[in-house]
Amino acid sequence: MDPAPTSGATAGDATADLVVLDARQLAADPGRAAAFAASARRILADLVAGGAALGWVEPPSQDEVAGLLARVASEARASDASLRAAYLGRRLVGLGYWRRYARPTHRPHADLEKLAVDSAVQGRGVGHVLTAALIADAEEAGVEVLTLDARGDNTGALSLYRSLGFSEYGRLPDFVAVGERRYDKVFQMLDLRRRR
């Protein structure tokens, strides 16, 4: 598969020079592949340290990120996941992935588990391009329903997902605990059967 298209770029976004690679393309580029886990960890750690809602309270370790990405890449080779990496030049500026549900009754479906964009380029279209590529991968893999959950105060991400066709199907009030603070856990879905 060719790098994800970045058409529709405007002067204020970062997508004009953006290259979005899938797991196979990433592995085929030894320079990028060698630095991928460390670059991904930098993005994730910076975002988490700034309070981003990515599932960690403290920035993840290098080993944790490397192990997670290795598992996702392995699942992608088996068509049970999709991993995408966004680059501006040789600099990783975002990543995202979905994984197919493991339970046999849920195998036709997948969960968009992570989308992270470097704070230096947020709001410039990178997340949109990454998510659109992940949706296209899900369609190609025969995924019927793509789900995700997000922290209720993550209004930028929730708006992005809505703009791409996701709809809310549930909410757990004050479910996410970060110290003394509580946030809603918002569930969204994209029914890909309706797009076929």
Count of CB atoms situated within 10 Å of the CB of 62? 14
The pLDDT, as a whole number, for residue 65 is: 97
- Structural domain includes residue 109: yes
pLDDT digits (tens, 9 = 90+) for 111-164: 999 999 999 999 999 999 999 999 999 999 999 999 999 999 999 999 999 999
**Nearest CA to 22 among 44, 41, 3?**
3
- Structural domain includes residue 6: no
Count of CB atoms situated within 10 Å of the CB of 149? 18
Under the banding of pLDDT at 50, 70 and 90, the label for residue 194 is: confident
Q: Which tokens belong to 138?
A: 């899900």
What's the domain count of the chain? 1
- Structural domain includes residue 125: yes
Query: Where do we find the tokens 């997340």?
Result: 127
Q: Which tokens belong to 77?
A: 């080779």
The enclosing domain of 37 has a CATH number of: 3.40.630.30
The pLDDT, as a whole number, for residue 7 is: 43
- Structural domain includes residue 163: yes
- pTM value is 0.91
- The boundaries of the domain holding residue 79 are 15-195
Under the banding of pLDDT at 50, 70 and 90, the label for residue 64 is: very high
User: Cβ(102)–Cβ(109) under 8 Å?
Assistant: no
- Structural domain includes residue 1: no
- Structural domain includes residue 7: no
The pLDDT, as a whole number, for residue 195 is: 77
